[in-house]
Structure 1
Amino acid sequence: ADKDGFTGTLRTLTLNVKVKLVPNDKGDNEKAPDFRLQAAGHDIGAAWKKTSEAGREYISVTLDDPSFPATVYARLIEGESGTHDLIWSRSKPQAA
C-alpha cells in the first residue's frame, strides 16, 4: 500500500496481470467506490474500504471483465510483512 493506492499481480490459473488500485475521486457520492481497479490502464473493477464485525479493516473488491463468466467478489486483507492478499470465494448458485 502507498498513498497512491495498491499495486500487485493478479494470478489465477488463466491470468497473470499487473493490477493497481487507484484512489477514486468520489465527489459528493458516498456510495462511490474508494478505489478503481485497473489493469493495463483499463478499469476491471472497483473497491470499497470496509471494517469487519471483529473490527479488522479490509477492502471489498469487485472484479469484472468480459473474459470472466461472472463478477468476482473478493476481500483484500493485510497479510504478512506489509503485503496484502486477495481472498475470494465462488458464489453459490441460487435455487430456482
Structure 2
Amino acid sequence: NGEKASEGQPDYRIFAGETSTEIGGGWMRKAKSSGREYVSLTLADPQIGPRRIYANLAPVKGKKGRHVILWNPRD
C-alpha cells in the first residue's frame, strides 16, 4: 500500500474480480511466541457473505515462497 499514511491503514490492499473491487486489507504482524512475521487479513464483500472474514497469511516453514491462509469459519 504505497498510499499508507498512518499505522491504522493496511500494509496491503486486497482486490478481486474483473473490476478490481477492493474487498479487504492486510496488516503486517509479528507472532509473540516465535517472532515470525505474518499478514493479518480482513475480507468483506457481499458476494462472500454477510460477515467479515478474519484470517492470517503465514509463510510455510521450509517452503520458500509458499504461504498458507489460516482462518476459523464461524459456520
| TM-score > 0.5 by shorter chain | yes
* Residue 42 (structure 2) aligns with: 62
Give the TM-score normalised by structure 1: 0.64
Corresponding residue to 2:30 among 32, 35, 51: 51
Give SS of 1:82's match.
Answer: coil
Whether 2:56 is the aligned partner of 1:78: answer no
* Residue 26 (structure 1) aligns with: 4
Give the TM-score normalised by structure 2: 0.80
What is the percentage of aligned positions where both structures have the same residue?
A: 36
Which one-letter code corresponds to 1:81 in the other structure? Answer: K
Structure with higher strand content? 1
Give the unaligned 5+ runs of structure 1: 1-22
Structure 1 runs (4+) deviating above 3 angstroms are none
If asked which structure has higher relative contact order (CA below 8 Å, sep 6+), I would say 2
